[in-house]
Structures are given as C-alpha cells and as structure tokens.
Amino acid sequence: MSRKARAAICRELNKPVVVEEITVDAPKRGEVTVRLGACGVCHSDLSATNGTLAMQLPLILGHEAAGEVVEIGEGVASLAVGDRVVSSFIYMCGECRFCAAGRPVLCLEQGKAITTLPDGTVRTRDAKGDPLNIFSGCGVMAEYATMHVDNLVKIDPKIPMDRAALVGCAVTTGVGAVFNTARVVPGSSVAVFGCGGVGLNVIQGARIAGAGRIIALDTNEAKLAMAKQFGATDTVTVKAGEDASKVLKKLTSGGPDYAFECVGNGELAATAYKAIRRGGLAVVVGVAKPGDSTAVRTMTLPFEEKTLTGSYFGSCVPRIDFPRMLGLYTAGQLKLDELITRRYSIHEAPQAFADLESGKNARGVIVF
Ligand SMILES: NC(=O)c1ccc[n+]([C@@H]2O[C@H](COP(=O)([O-])OP(=O)(O)OC[C@H]3O[C@@H](n4cnc5c(N)ncnc54)[C@H](O)[C@@H]3O)[C@@H](O)[C@H]2O)c1
Ligand SMILES: [Zn+2]
Ligand SMILES: [Zn+2]
C-alpha cells in the first residue's frame, strides 16, 4: 500500500532543508517498506545540501536510520514484517569482483543507486506527484521508506532505535576505519583530525583496539571534551589551516603510527600524512569537495614507506559489521548513549542541520 509520511528534503542548494508530506509507494520485487524510528544527521547529509556531494535534487535526506519492516515485496525471504532493521547506504550487486571478495563498499555497480533504488526508480513522490530522489538508496530521514533488502540489515530488536540508527553510518564508518581499514594494533599511537560523529567513533574504535595513545585534534574545544569521554588520551586545539604535524611529532617522539582525517579537507589529509611516523598509515575518512586535492612530498614515499589511503563506510560488510558493533554496545564496550547530544522531531530537521553545521552535537538524531 501507499503511505503518507513527513520527510526532510533538500530542494535547493545552500537553503535550509524543508519538511514535507510525501507519498511512499509499496515495495516492488526485492524491496520492503520500513517505518523509521530514528535517523541520525550526518555531515554527508549536510554535504548533499551544499553541493560538496553532488546529488540529484529534490532529495530526501538520511542514510543512518533504524526502523521496523511493515511490508515486504515479492521474492523477499530474508526479512519479514516486524523485523527491526538498520539502513546501509552502500549498493551491493553481489556479483562483481569486489562483492565476491567481501568488499561491497567498492562494488563496481554502486553508481546505480546514488539517488534511486537499485532499479533506477524511486517509490517516493511529493504532494504534486513528482518523484523525489533518495540519498544513497536510503532517504530515511522520513517516517516511511521503501528500500531494497540489500540496503537493510536485521538487528536485535532490544536495541533502542535511536542508538541502533548510529550504526548505519557514524559508528561503522569510524570504528570500521580502525578495525577493518587500518587494523590498528594494541599499544600503537593514533591521531584523529576532527571529532564529530565520525571522528569520535574512530577514537572509541582505537580505544577498543587497545591503542596506547589517542590524540584528538579539533578546532572546537567542546568537541575535544567529548573526545576525552570517548577515549582520547591527549587533545590538541587547532586553528583552521594550521599545520599540526609538528605538534604530533613532538607528542609522539617522531609521529603517530596512524592518523585519521575525519573532516573532509585535502590540506588536512596532507597534514595527517606528514604527521605519521616512518612506515605509518594515514587514513582519509572525511569527504572533501570534488575539486579538492592532496599533495604529498613524493620523496617521502620511497624513503619513509608511508601509506596514504582512504576508508569508505569503514570498509565494512554491513551484515557482519552492524551486529558486531551492536554486540560491542551490548557488552558495554562501545558508547552509543553518549553519542546522542540532542533528539529532534522531524519538524525540527532544519534546526538539526543548523546545529550540525555550528558544531553543537556529537550526533543529532531525529526521532519519529
Ligand atoms: N568515508 C565515509 O564513508 C564517510 C561516512 C560518513 C561521513 N563521512 C565524512 O566524514 C566527515 C565527518 O563527518 P561527521 O558527521 O563526523 O561531521 P561533523 O560535522 O560532526 O564533524 C566534523 C568535525 O571536524 C571539526 N573540524 C572542522 N575543521 C577542522 C580542522 N581544520 N581541523 C580539525 N577539526 C576540524 C569540526 O569542529 C567537527 O567537530 C565529513 O566529511 C563526512 O562527509 C565519511
Ligand atoms: Zn554518514
Ligand atoms: Zn558488486
């Protein structure tokens, strides 16, 4: 059946998001309809509203949500009505060499569902009946969403929706970058540039992995206080554009073993690379503007054997990593309660974006 839902939409770049009543159509083959319980507001959603991430408008935002399955389409065997699920924003064809190798974040077909469902169409319409695009096959900043089964992972229904939602991006991106991409080893030193929803999860991932030294860097003092709560052993307040590599080299006698860039800035990626010790690893997690670039001193590559790499969605396999993250939460190792600074109603979505932009929240979550 078709359902009415309120949704947060970007209609025009660099304008506040708008909340509209939309129609969400029934699931087709391989799809299900989900009633959302909560959706986190990620910097990538903000990036879609200002053109950093070029996405076709009008766009229903949201890619970090938890909900309950209310209707299933033809041929769906892996989910049933009543199942609790978390959204996953990567498209997995299941057939290409990367999917076959267990690296679905690199799926060769991911271009198929950037702002639509995998079949290239959407189940969402506005009041005039015009189609509405959806963020990364999700568009879950809405009361209902019809999605492909491969963009959903079944989870333990005992986990509250608002906390479970965070696993759909911030937690898996941050902790996954530490566990899966970098494979941080116990006793090592880690620097984290940017302590927002993603960076705080890199910090707690590093803590869980047993890093000996975790140095948090941010321009915002309030974020550094949060970083301490998540496991940072040292904090450094930086000015935008400042080169913090010398400070890091001094603090760690030669540079940290790992550095994570969690802001989305080419210059900062270069600083992260510059800061790491010989043989170290710098991981870019932040998503920079399309025209941005990063320069490294070429000679350091052979003489210092340093690595600069990236991490997309924590190099995760959603069906393995989401339950793993929630297991860490249940075991008391992963902090999710502390990540939510403020909860908003869907009507307050414009405020939630403004608060993200001004750096007020670890994570803001819209609850339905
Ligand atoms: N790789 C992925 O799969 C993936 C997934 C989700 C988000 N992201 C990206 O990660 C980045 C962070 O996302 P978020 O939701 O945590 O954002 P956020 O806005 O919550 O956090 C960004 C933090 O960076 C700090 N900051 C800004 N400029 C800085 C500077 N020059 N030096 C140090 N700190 C600085 C801010 O004060 C803020 O605390 C964004 O670019 C987002 O698009 C990437
Ligand atoms: Zn995100
Ligand atoms: Zn694939």
pLDDT in tens, 324-335: 999 999 999 999
Q: Cα(73) to centroid of ligand 3, in Å?
A: 22
Q: How high does pLDDT run on average in the chain?
A: 97
- 7 confidence band (pLDDT: 50, 70, 90): very high
Q: Whose CA is nearest to atom 7 of ligand 1?
A: 44
Place 355 in a pLDDT band, splitting at 50, 70 and 90: very high
pLDDT of residue 241: 87
Name which residue sits closest to atom 13 of ligand 1, judged by CA. Answer: 43
Token readout for 324 is: 């793993």
Strand order in the sheet with 133-134: 124-125, 18-24, 3-10, 59-60, 133-134
Residue type, 127: A
Confidence of residue 262 (pLDDT cuts 50, 70, 90): very high
Q: What pLDDT is attached to residue 174?
A: 98
Contact 288, 264 (CB under 8 A): yes
Ligand 1 residue neighbourhood (C-beta within 6 Å): 42-44, 47, 169, 173, 193-199, 217-220, 223, 238, 240, 262-265, 268, 285-287, 311-313, 356, 359
| Predicted local confidence at residue 186, as pLDDT | 98
Starting at the earlier edge strand, list the strands of the sheet with 258-261: 234-237, 213-218, 189-193, 258-261, 281-284, 307-310
The confidence score (pLDDT) of residue 117 equals 97
pLDDT tens per residue, range 278-320: 999 999 999 999 999 999 999 999 999 999 999 999 999 999 9
Tokens at 363, concatenated: 């994570």
What percent of the chain is predicted at pLDDT more than 90? Answer: 99
288 Cα: distance to centroid of ligand 1 (angstroms): 10
Q: Which residues contact 43 (CB under 8 A, 6 or more apart)?
A: 196, 197, 198, 264, 287, 356
pLDDT in tens, 144-200: 999 999 999 999 999 999 999 999 999 999 999 999 999 999 999 999 999 999 999
If we measure between CA atoms, which residue out of 283, 278, 270, 275 comes closest to residue 309? 283
Point out the ligand nearest to the CA of residue 227.
Answer: 1
* E strand intervals along the chain: 3-10, 18-24, 31-41, 59-60, 65-72, 84-87, 124-125, 133-134, 144-148, 152-154, 189-193, 213-218, 234-237, 258-261, 281-284, 307-310, 340-344, 363-367
Average pLDDT for 59-76: 98
pLDDT digits (tens, 9 = 90+) for 220-254: 999 999 999 999 999 999 998 899 999 999 999 99
Average pLDDT of the residues in 209-223: 98
CA of 246 to the centre of ligand 2 (A): 31
Q: Which atom of ligand 1 lies closest to the CA of 361? A: 20
Distance 63 CA to ligand 2 centre (A): 6
